[in-house]
Chain A
Amino acid sequence: SQKIEQNSEALNIQEGKTATLTCNYTNYSPAYLQWYRQDPGRGPVFLLLIRENEKEKRKERLKVTFDTTLKQSLFHITASQPADSATYLCACRGQNFVFGPGTRLSVLP
């Protein structure tokens, strides 16, 4: 069955640096990938969608890449701020909608 892995359970970085989060998928070739942000005790919030024919997508300080050969998506936050601290989830749609376990990002001042 389709599976999504996110490489780090937790990631700590210094304010102002670029955070890079990884999403790997197996047993499927999704037409698109989505990234969501989730704060403690709240539902996920949609951030970006990237389609299989797109190499890169940007939104303000966020950038997502999609490599169908590596079966991987990278999510970058540039000039990170403490307010970016949250759990970031990767998701795709196969037979059902599948979310990865998330990476908890902490941006230290």
Chain B
Amino acid sequence: DTGVSQDPRHKITKRGQNVTFRCDPISEHNRLYWYRQTLGQGPEFLTYFQNEAQLEKSRLLSDRFSAERPKGSFSTLEIQRTEQGDSAMYLCASSPRGTGKREDTQYFGPGTRLTVL
């Protein structure tokens, strides 16, 4: 399977714990996105990488959230001191090197469902 993969698929944690999610993009894609999605809503942008550089970060993202993409391959999203409001589906997407138009057709992974008790 050469699609975007995410690990774990499900995570249950207690409030106050730290969690880390991993995303492996399609191998030739240099752009990587993280989104959060709650029930009945569309994906909400969190952050964006081009290769290893984190180029954009949502103002909605608190300091408890951090993302990395070392070597421009896989990416991790860490949430520190989780709160019940962090419960959501966390989606990763990747996009191939563009033509300069930034049309960003995104290929999504299956998501990691986080439940904070």
| Contact of A43 with B91 in the complex, beta carbons under 8 Å | yes
Write the nearest CB–CB distance from A54 to chain B, whole angstroms: 12
Interface SS majority for chain B: loop
Write the nearest CB–CB distance from A98 to chain B, whole angstroms: 7
Name which residue of chain A comes closest to B6, CB basis: A43
| Contact of A46 with B45 in the complex, beta carbons under 8 Å | no
Write the nearest CB–CB distance from A55 to chain B, whole angstroms: 18
Task: Indicate the size class of the contact surface on chain A.
Answer: 20 to 34
Write the nearest CB–CB distance from B14 to chain A, whole angstroms: 24
**Which of B65-73, B78-86, B108-116 interfaces with chain A?**
B108-116
Tell me the complex Cα distance, A96–B43, Å. 12
The total number of A-B Cβ pairs within 8 Å is 54
Q: Which residues of B contact A46 (CB under 8 A)?
A: 105-107
Which of B40, B43, B109 is close to A99, meaning CB atoms less than 8 Å apart? B43
| Contact of B103 with A100 in the complex, beta carbons under 8 Å | no
**Interface residue tally for chain B (C-beta within 8 Å):** 25
Q: Which residues of A contact B108 (CB under 8 A)?
A: 43-45
Query: Hey, what's the 0/1 contact readout for B37-58 against A, CB within 8 Å counting as 1?
Result: 0001111110010000000101
Name which residue of chain A comes closest to B56, CB basis: A96
Tell me the complex Cα distance, A96–B55, Å. 11
Name which residue of chain B comes closest to A6, CB basis: B42
| Contact of A96 with B110 in the complex, beta carbons under 8 Å | no
Which of B44, B104, B107, B109 is close to A93, meaning CB atoms less than 8 Å apart? B104
Name which residue of chain A comes closest to B44, CB basis: A99
| Contact of A102 with B42 in the complex, beta carbons under 8 Å | yes
Write the nearest CB–CB distance from B65 to chain A, whole angstroms: 15
Name which residue of chain B comes closest to A89, CB basis: B42
For the complex, is A61 an interface residue (Cβ under 8 Å from B)? no
A binding-site residues for B, Cβ under 8 Å: 4, 9, 31-32, 34, 41-46, 49, 89, 91, 93, 96-102
B binding-site residues for A, Cβ under 8 Å: 4, 33, 35, 40-45, 48, 56, 58, 91, 93, 101-111
A sample of 4 more A-B contacts (CB under 8 A), given A43-B4, A93-B102, A96-B45, is A4-B42, A96-B48, A97-B106, A99-B43
